[in-house]
Copies of this chain bind each other. A is one copy, B any other.
Amino acid sequence: MDMHHHATAAIISIGDELTLGQTLDTNSKWLSDQLVTMGIVPVEHVTVPDDLDAHVATLLRLANKVDVIVCSGGLGPTQDDLTRDALAKAMGDTLIEDPIALSQVEAWYTSRGRVMSANNRLQALRPTRGLVMQNLHGTAPGIAGRIGNCDVFCLPGPPKEMFPMFEQGVVPRLRLQAGRTMMTRVLHTFGVAESDLAMRLGDLMKRDANPLVGTTASGGVVSIRMRYEGSLTPIEAGQVLDSVERTCRDVAGQFIFGSEKETLASVVVGMLRAQKQTLGTVESCTGGLLGAYLTEIPGSSAAFIGGLVTYTNELKTQLAHLDAANFAEGGPGAVSRETASAMAMGGLRTLGCDHAIAITGIAGPDGGSAAKPVGLVYIARASRSDSEVDVRGFKMIGDRQNVREWSARTAMAMLWQKLSGLPSVRMLREA
């Protein structure tokens, strides 16, 4: 990649809690990812404390080096929020109160039946040559300014305020390169190891290929990212990406559950809705996490009817109608193929749904044994249309939260296999 043909960017995160290691900065990664998809190359991330001089010096240094700076943090209503002052100083400008921003901050409080405190008035300040960007999800407005030839965007620190402001306020203002096409595509897999996927993709992943194909893994989802950059028209570039996508589907189609912004939950909920089928859950070690993932999806109520969180053996017996003999001396026990299967069958009956998924396992850190170690998880899917329950054992790895998250995702992937009608394949970590 020839950096000199691209717009470049730097990202600044502001806050003592970041430099002192109390809070993990996730904004810089997210912003970089967004900028890259627009063909703008981030060349440096910097984190500075709540210190005016450090922030000003960093702004001035980077403004000489890159085309765009995106800052996050330091726009709150308290005395240690200094981004407004730093931007004004770096611009050689002073702060004035923006009447529209002030009315928006006031309206934010009024609409919630509250009164704006005097401190919040600080949030309506901007450099005289700066522009305010409205915050639809919090009180801190963003500010756009310019230092020399560098565009600077100052966004609030909380991701839930920063993400939408970037999309609504920054993206339309970024000047994209003329005469170059940059196009990306992403496919998502579950149940296959990243190294196995890389072997299947083979030469597609060569470092000098265009489109460039790479993989990234997060929480069990391994994504195939394709990026074309060059002089083709957008239509031609789309055809090139289509061809690469077909090859990916040829070699790994049985693991590809979705693309772009789709998630296992959004895909499964969408398929259930399209097939007019309903789903219920019976969760033990995940404690409700599977239900939480499914109901993240707007409109999930058309497919997900509810569930049982049977954390104790007593509730497994009482709510999912398991035979108490499962838990007696010599029985298979709470974490077993038999119990998972009976939980799914019990869920199908009790909840009255078309499909029921059950999860039982040992999330750790305690509760493991030589015969049933931490990470052992059984997942079962029962469907009204099937005479047999699909029940599988897994050896999950990582800490308590890893085991729980991976289990909930695996459960959705098992349902996806059923709903997709594809032949059922053995998944990563299946014992």
User: Chain A: residues with CB nearer than 8 A to chain B?
Assistant: 13, 15-26, 28-36, 41-51, 54, 58, 76-80, 112-114, 117, 119-120, 137, 139, 158, 160, 184, 186, 193-196, 198-199, 205-207, 214-218, 225, 227, 281, 283, 285-292, 294-296, 298-301, 304-312, 314-315, 319, 351-352, 363-366, 395, 397-402, 404, 429, 431
Q: Are B29 and A198 in contact (CB under 8 A)?
A: no
Q: How far is the CA of A32 from the CA of B21 in the complex (A)?
A: 5
**Contact residues in B for A31 (Cβ distance below 8 Å):** 21
**Could you tell me the distance between the alpha carbons of A113 and B16 in the complex, rounded to whole angstroms?**
47
- Closest Cβ of chain B to A142, distance in Å, is 17
Residues A29 and B25 in contact, CB atoms below 8 Å apart: yes
What are the residues of chain B within 8 A of A114 when measuring CB–CB? 193
**A17, A36, A46, A309 pick with most chain B CB within 10 angstroms:** A309
11 chain-A/chain-B pairs, Cβ below 8 angstroms: A13-B45, A20-B32, A21-B36, A21-B42, A43-B49, A112-B395, A117-B199, A119-B199, A287-B291, A291-B309, A301-B311
**Nearest B-chain residue to A199, judged by Cβ:** B117
The reply to whether A310 and B306 contact each other, CB–CB distance below 8 Å, is yes
Chain B min CB distance to A185 (Å): 11
Known: A22-B186, A319-B319. 15 other contacts (CB 8 A): A23-B216, A78-B198, A114-B193, A137-B397, A158-B217, A160-B399, A288-B288, A288-B307, A295-B363, A306-B308, A306-B319, A307-B308, A308-B308, A308-B319, A309-B309
Q: Are A20 and B41 in contact (CB under 8 A)?
A: yes
Chain B residue numbers with a CB within 8 Å of A50 are 214
- Which B residues lie within 8 Å of A429 (CB)? 112
Contact A19-B33, Cβ < 8 Å, known A137-B397, A305-B315, A351-B315: no
A248 to B280, CA, bound (A): 46
